[in-house]
């Protein structure tokens, strides 16, 4: 064993077997300083003390936790946040596209129905001006006039001619696809057909000016109604049709977009989960592998510091930790050579 004088630094090679007792006092021959020499510990005790000094015990931010935080927590957090923002933007885009598209198509449909009514009203006025002797009771008996007045709007809608309500008479229908409604009081008919929904229709009924608006039909579908007065006559051209006949393509497109959004959302979630598992497994394994090698070298260095200079140091991996193992091994060889030189000189 090696004993060093604390005053002058002179080193002595001592055979532990010749020491009597656990603690022996002696004087340095160089400076006369009193030295206290204790019996060296065996290898098992050295190893236990080295293990006690192990820096790998749980601490707030050990190397292993830093590696996990750096290569797992932060990347996964960024991936989750990015995925959430992407899905949120995707949902907003799908909703905005569907809503705005539906509004645009609805507005175009309303304008188209109004233009159709205006066009039919102009054609009807020209016919009535050139056939001034034509009576309203005969409107429905003249195919040429019926074709002018009753034109298709949308898929199931059409235009008709009605006589506006006055102080002395109700509102009558004079051209309609249903022959049973010819000459019928439309107000009474609508009250009977719509019931409590009649008030909404009453707000858009024929007036001496253009009227436009929605009412709920008895099948709970929204209808759009436009009334255009024929100038110089008591008649109006009225068009009424289901508005969803125009918005169905947009609605279908919105459904397709929603399905694509759901599929993309599921794909993103799967990618996040797989990435979390993969990155977590790799970072945990590599962090444990790296810190285990460092902890092992730390234990060996502690054992050398406690006097066990012949401990075997091997780390075959060619990386920075392997370089550290080689440096500790070279330091161990230097200490061993120094002790041998000291022994020979003594």
Per-residue model confidence (pLDDT) at position 59: 57
Per-residue model confidence (pLDDT) at position 47: 54
Helix (H, G, I), strand (E, B) or coil at 175: strand
Per-residue model confidence (pLDDT) at position 209: 93
Within 10 A of 284 (CB to CB), how many other CB atoms are there? Answer: 15
Per-residue model confidence (pLDDT) at position 334: 85
Query: Which phi and psi angles does 22 have, rounded to 5°?
Result: -75, -30
Sequence-distant (≥ 6) Cβ neighbours of residue 243 within 8 angstroms = 106, 109, 110, 214, 222, 223, 224
Q: How far apart are CA 214 and CA 246, in angstroms?
A: 14
Element (H, E) at 282: helix 244-305
Per-residue model confidence (pLDDT) at position 118: 95
Per-residue model confidence (pLDDT) at position 274: 87
209: its two tokens: 């000016």
Q: What is the pLDDT of residues 175-221, one digit of tens each?
A: 999 988 899 888 888 888 888 888 888 888 889 999 999 999 888 89
Per-residue model confidence (pLDDT) at position 56: 46
Per-residue model confidence (pLDDT) at position 163: 94
For the 102-251 domain, the top CATH level (class) is: alpha beta
Q: Which of 205, 204, 242, 203 is nearest to 220 (CA)?
A: 242
Per-residue model confidence (pLDDT) at position 168: 85
Per-residue model confidence (pLDDT) at position 80: 83
| Block residue for tokens 């006559």 | 233
Residues of the chain with pLDDT under 70: 1-3, 6-24, 36-62, 64, 346
Task: Spell out the alpha helix ranges (H) of 131-212.
Answer: 143-149, 186-194, 198-202
Which residue ranges make up each domain of the chain? 1-40, 102-251
255: its two tokens: 């459904």
Whether 71 and 279 have beta carbons less than 8 Å apart is answered as: yes
Sequence-distant (≥ 6) Cβ neighbours of residue 116 within 8 angstroms = 151, 153, 159, 239
Helices 43-52 and 244-305 meet at what angle, rounded to 10? 140
Per-residue model confidence (pLDDT) at position 175: 94
């Amino acid at each position: 064993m090696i004993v060093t004088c604390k005053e002058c630094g002179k080193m002595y090679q001592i055979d532990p077997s010749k020491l009597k007792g656990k603690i022996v006092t002696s004087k340095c021959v160089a400076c006369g300083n009193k030295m206290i020499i204790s019996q060296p510990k065996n290898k098992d005790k050295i190893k236990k003390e080295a293990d006690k000094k192990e820096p790998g015990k749980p601490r707030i931010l050990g190397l292993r936790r830093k590696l996990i935080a750096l290569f797992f927590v932060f990347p996964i957090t960024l991936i989750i946040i990015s995925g959430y923002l992407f899905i949120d933007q995707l949902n907003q885009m799908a909703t905005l596209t569907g809503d705005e598209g539906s509004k645009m198509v609805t507005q175009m449909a309303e304008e188209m129905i109004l233009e159709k009514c205006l066009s039919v009203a102009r054609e009807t006025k020209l016919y009535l001006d050139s056939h001034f002797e034509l009576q309203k009771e005969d409107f429905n008996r003249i195919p040429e006039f019926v074709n002018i007045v009753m034109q298709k709007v949308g898929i199931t809608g059409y235009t008709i001619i009605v006589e506006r309500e006055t102080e002395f008479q109700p509102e009558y229908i004079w051209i309609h696809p249903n022959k049973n409604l010819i000459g019928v009081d439309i107000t009474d008919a609508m009250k009977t057909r719509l019931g409590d929904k009649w008030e909404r229709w009453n707000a858009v009924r024929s007036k001496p000016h253009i009227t436009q608006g929605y009412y709920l039909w008895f099948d709970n579908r929204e209808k759009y109604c436009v009334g255009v007065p024929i100038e110089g006559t008591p008649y109006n051209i009225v068009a009424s049709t289901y508005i969803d006949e125009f918005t169905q393509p947009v609605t279908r497109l919105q459904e397709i977009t929603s399905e694509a959004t759901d599929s993309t959302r599921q794909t993103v979630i799967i990618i996040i989960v797989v990435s979390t598992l993969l990155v977590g497994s790799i970072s945990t394994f590599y962090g444990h592998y790296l810190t285990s090698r460092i902890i092992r070298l730390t234990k060996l260095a502690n054992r050398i510091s406690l006097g066990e200079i012949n401990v075997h140091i091997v780390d075959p991996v060619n990386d920075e930790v392997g370089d550290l193992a080689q440096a500790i091994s070279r330091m161990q060889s230097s200490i061993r050579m120094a002790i041998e030189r000291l022994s020979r000189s003594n």
